[in-house]
Amino acid sequence: MSQRMLGLAVLTLGLVAAACSRQEPLPSSEQGPIANGRTAPAFSLKSASGGTITLSDYAGKPVLLYFSMGPG
């Protein structure tokens, strides 16, 4: 029984490691971070209230982006 559990644990860890190491390449226009003082690329995001916000809505104004993983 212990060999079976060990085999299952090794298989599970292998699957988890494979899933965690998979990375999708960034599009060529989004390679690397944006340097300080550079213009941010155009984008739109869903707001907390469900609407869509675009960066161009705030042209000429300071913008702070806050990303949250949700409650907890």
* pLDDT tens digit sequence for 16-70: 777 776 666 555 555 677 788 888 888 888 888 889 989 998 888 888 877 777 7
Supply the pLDDT for residue 21: 67
Give 13's contacts (C-beta < 8 A, 6+ positions apart): none
Nearest to 40 by CA among 69, 62, 67, 66: 62
String of DSSP letters for 52-63:
EEEGGGGTTS--
